Amino acid sequence: MLTPSVPAEFALGLYCAGMRLALGRIGPLTATLICVFACLLQGAPRAWADPPLAAQMDFGGLVRTYELHVPAGVGHPSALVVNLHAAGATGRDQAALTHYDSVADAHGFVAVHPDGIDLSWADGRGASQPDRQGVDDVGFIAALVGKLVAEYGIDPGRVFVTGLSAGAFMANRLACDRADLFAAIAPVAGTLGTNVGCSPSRPVSVLATYGTADPVVPYGGGTMTGRGGTSDVLAAPAMVERWQQIDRCQNTPSQDALPNNGDGTGTQRVTYSQCAAGTAVEFMRIDGGGHTWPGAPEILPVQAVGSASHAFDASEASWQFFNAHGR
């Protein structure tokens, strides 16, 4: 998007200005939030020494792109993690924000960061261009998983998906629609549209992370306004309860508080461990937390996305959860 002859700061300024003009019709606050999110992620420092492999595949009459990271010297990857970006961002932005490639290097798994059409996903809410255009993102990601599992000899029982915001809505939808492919998911700051059905073919382990003071995706559910428009979404506790019911968890959940590190938030971990087929449901409730990826650099203003938690690293925590909940 940026050419070498154009200073990055200037080009990003033009990009933000264009975003404001294009998005102004949905309200100045929403336009500003989206612009800040997209622009600052575009300008964020990259987490890798060498860029991951930029690749593409044809699916549904469209050329779909993705960033692929395979740890050097790993002949038999331990798993595949699909990492889905927020609206207004790209797969590369999500990789940089979450430093998932360095987590992949440390634990020997493949990380893939797909790109959504129009910087978003067809997650079923009807609030994005891909949704309105009938883009089959469930099919695209399923096809991408099949391709990578075959090419790298990955155990099909060790395929997982995580994502932020719109990427989290998409992760939940993938678990609902393709539980045969994903053993566990870790959505951060995104639930499901109230219009999206969820009847998985088998239980799926879930690590769900939500901030109680999220100014973008309301913790208590209801109407939210995102990049593509408005939608009605499930409350975070209701989403966790739905997964607890789907996975037929029997036990009274255990609860523990993570150590307070003085960032103004507090994290309560609620765990259902006695669930069907060896699955588990964990809820990381960040009291006072905003629309952020815990442990990531604070590249966005608190006024735009709320407070970030540094009590845990959502990337490392999700991997540890995935590693314990393969099939």
What tens digit of pLDDT does each residue of 76-122 get?
A: 999 999 999 999 999 999 999 999 999 999 999 999 999 999 999 99
Question: How far apart are the C-alpha atoms of 279 and 256, rounded to whole Å?
Answer: 19
pLDDT for res 23? 37
User: Total structural domains in the chain?
Assistant: 2
Residue after which a domain boundary falls, among 43, 58, 77: 43
Domain that holds residue 125: 47-324
**Domain identity same for 225 and 76:** yes
More confident residue, 158 or 51: 158
**Domain identity same for 112 and 39:** no
pLDDT band at 51 (very low <50, low <70, confident <90, very high): low
Half-sphere exposure of 28 (CA within 13 A, CB side): 0
Over residues 143-162, the mean pLDDT reads 98
**Domain identity same for 190 and 267:** yes
Round the CA-based radius of gyration of the chain to a whole number and report it.
Answer: 18
pLDDT for res 298? 80
Q: Measured between alpha carbons, how far is residue 285 from residues 216, 256, 327 in Å?
A: 16, 11, 26
pLDDT band at 53 (very low <50, low <70, confident <90, very high): confident
Percentage of the chain exceeding pLDDT 90: 78
pLDDT band at 131 (very low <50, low <70, confident <90, very high): very high
Structure tokens at 147: 């391709």
Percentage of the chain exceeding pLDDT 70: 84
Over residues 180-204, the mean pLDDT reads 98
Half-sphere exposure of 267 (CA within 13 A, CB side): 25
CB atoms within 10 A of CB 223: 10
Q: Which DSSP category does 193 fall into?
A: B
**Domain identity same for 204 and 239:** yes
**Domain identity same for 87 and 2:** no
**Domain identity same for 116 and 37:** no
Residue-wise pLDDT tens digits, 275-296: 999 999 999 999 999 999 999 9
**Domain identity same for 5 and 133:** no
Question: How far apart are the C-alpha atoms of 200 and 288, rounded to whole Å?
Answer: 32
pLDDT for res 191? 98
**Domain identity same for 78 and 129:** yes
Residues 6+ apart with CB under 8 A from 80: 109, 110, 111, 112, 145, 148, 149, 152, 154, 158, 159, 160
CATH number at residue 246: 3.40.50.1820
The two most distant CA atoms of the chain are separated, in Å, by: 61
Q: Which DSSP category does 34 fall into?
A: H
pLDDT for res 303? 83
**Domain identity same for 176 and 83:** yes
* DSSP string covering 72-117: TT-SS-S-EEEEEPPTT--HHHHHHHHTHHHHHHHHT-EEEEE--G
pLDDT for res 201? 97
**Domain identity same for 20 and 64:** no
**Domain identity same for 30 and 65:** no
pTM: 0.86
**Domain identity same for 35 and 64:** no
Over residues 253-274, the mean pLDDT reads 94
